[in-house]
Chains A and B, each alone.
Chain A
Amino acid sequence: MAEAKATQAGEPTRRDMLFLATGVMGAAGVVGVAVPFIRQLAPNAQTIATGAPIEVDLTPIAEGQGIKMFWRGKLIFVRNRSKAEVEEAQKVNVASLPDPQADSARVKPGKEQWLVLYGACTHLGCIPGGSAVGEVRGDYGGWFCPCHGSHYDTSGRIRKGPAPANLPVPPYAFLNDSKIRIG
């Protein structure tokens, strides 16, 4: 038979051809299937759509008070800091902080009284208290995380406790003096 002769001569046979074609189709199939099965884990279109920027009216927030809201499922703190709190945040020796950052880098110029932060402790994600008046604000007058005892100052910077970093500032901009857009 031709097939047997071809094998003896060391030439590729029809069977080799089928073997290769099957292997290539199989490999292409596996890769082609792997992509959708990984991509389906990504946020879906609805989740992305609900992650659009939000606008926040600052008028109702009195000096010294803070509010909380969600953006993209994450808690956001907005605090109207008193003059004393702002001064306290500004006068700290930045080099002495666990995560050195000046207060000016955490607020918008000319709007120093407004502090906008992600409200999840940078240690393991609990929500630090201190936004509402009457909640424990910790040793530095900012926020205190009850889970593992992290103290944040009036700029949301970590001062004491296990958290490794300051509360991050989300992307936001002032639309006018009393309105911000987060995102």
Chain B
Amino acid sequence: MSGPSTYVPKWGIAKWMDARLPLPRMVYDSFIAYPVPRNLNYFWTFGGILMLMLVSQIITGVVLAMHYTPHSTLAFNSVESIMRDVEYGWLIRYMHSTGASFFFIAVYIHIFRGLYYGSYKAPREVLWILGCIIFLLMMATAFMGYVLPWGQMSFWGATVITNLFSAIPLVGETIVTFLWGGYSVDNPTLTRFFSLHFLLPFMIFGVVILHVWALHVTGQNNPTGVEVKAVQKDTVPFTPYATIKDAFAMICFFVVFSYFIFYMPNYLGHADNYVQANPAVTPPHIVPEWYFLPFYAILRAVPDKLGGVMLMGAAVVILAFLPWLDTSKVKSMRYRPLARQCFWAFAVTCVVLGWLGSRPAEQPYVLLSQIFSALYFAYFLIALPLLGLFETPNKLPGSIAESVLSKIKGGSAAAVGAAAASEPNTKG
């Protein structure tokens, strides 16, 4: 997809640099000349949005670390001091805390985009697995970050999640003691979580570089799932087409993000976390942040401690095996009438699981959690493996260009070019 480089250094200094460290060539090949399928819709802008969110979280996080004190007796007050005393501290903290939620909103859209258009299938398996690793790292980072304000939710969230490891037979208790650095969640836990919360985003950044590298080797998938056949006909250069479109989508995303920061910064959080951690009192209703709720529901669906932990872990890990669980050769759900319905059923299942995760652990929610957990796994273990064998897909277009051109009737050649980059969201 990348093909031979078409970069020609113009100035003397560019030639000098190109012969020593061809960084401008890499930027040119990756972000200017790089061919993108001409039929990408707005769901393909979320990769860029996620990159921006990661940078935003790192910048705001580094600033917060300047004002934050990682100590169990001082952390809560230092966060309050950020909110009240530090100039614009309230804004930077809200950017960071709301940013975590918006990071997950974007990553879930990004993941479901991949699920719908079959972006995980050959030759993009490694690209997909790297994405799964990023998702896992994000969850670890978000969890540890939520502990740092040392409020009630921080403390009890940390207690519950670290206690998951105690389910491991024989060594469970020892592992938990080592996670805590003591006999309960306390100052040693807080300081190590702070250190790791600072480290992990940079590890994410490293995996993101591999993710983008893998993307640029295979090229992007597209709404038809048909691979690029003729670069001239099927693709447009990254700049200006994708850059402008990504920039527009980023701005729109940040407008919504800003609305939350300025008008409802605590909407996605819990009021209990504005009460300082108290190891003697657990809040009556303890739930994780919204982005963990579906997995939390799966955890609670199983009456057995070890079983629940394993099933929750499996719910995340199973994503990495998706390239081999889906047996269909057809990538895009646009051309898979039955799989498409299963996909939407799966999407609804995830939302329902999220809602169930926010409910108290009592009937009928437990039973419903069990049913929907089964549906969650059925998509991966029953629907996708079998549909590939029994489903008759619709006819695929011969090429990306053909699918685009067939939509435009009576357009001139110039109009086709303009329409290619501005195709509206197509739901298949």
Contacts and interface: CB of A to CB of B under 8 A. Distances in A.
Contact of A36 (B81, B85, B88, B414): B88
A42 B63 CA distance: 12
A68 B323 CA distance: 72
Contact of B418 (A4, A18, A19, A29): A4
A45 B84 contact: yes
Contact of B63 (A15, A22, A37, A47): A37
Given A15-B422, A45-B85, A4 B415 contact: yes
Contacts, number: 62
B209 interface: no
Contacts of A26: 247, 250-251
B244 interface: yes
A157 B81 CA distance: 41
Interface string B52-91: 0000000100010011000000000000010011111101
Interface in B389-428: 411-412, 414-415, 418-419, 422
A164 to B, nearest CB: 32
Contacts of A18: 248
B109 to A, nearest CB: 20
B91 A36 contact: yes
A133 interface: no
Given A39-B87, A46-B81, A1 B251 contact: no
A20 to B, nearest CB: 11
A47 B89 CA distance: 14
B113 to A, nearest CB: 22
Contacts of A25: 251, 254-255
B418 A1 contact: yes
B418 A44 contact: no
A3 interface: yes
B251 A40 contact: no
Interface in A40-70: 40, 42, 44-47
Majority SS at the chain A contact face:
helix
Main secondary structure of the interface of B (DSSP, over half): helix
A29 B88 contact: no
B383 interface: no
Interface residues of A, number: 21
B92 interface: yes
A173 B422 CA distance: 72
B422 A22 contact: no
Given A15-B422, A29-B254, A36-B91, A44 B247 contact: no
Contact of A40 (B63, B250, B418): B63
A39 B91 CA distance: 11
B247 A22 contact: yes
A41 to B, nearest CB: 8
Which of A36, A37, A46 has the most chain B CB atoms closer than 10 A to its own CB? A36
A35 interface: yes
Contacts of B415: 1, 3-4
A58 B92 CA distance: 45
Given A37-B59, A44-B67, A22 B251 contact: yes
18 contacts: A1-B412, A1-B415, A3-B418, A4-B415, A19-B244, A26-B250, A29-B251, A29-B254, A35-B88, A36-B87, A36-B91, A37-B92, A40-B86, A40-B87, A44-B86, A45-B84, A45-B86, A46-B81
Interface of A: 1, 3-4, 7, 15, 18-19, 22, 25-26, 29, 35-37, 39-40, 42, 44-47
Given A36-B92, A37-B92, 10 more contacts: A4-B412, A15-B418, A22-B248, A29-B251, A37-B88, A39-B88, A40-B87, A42-B87, A44-B85, A44-B89
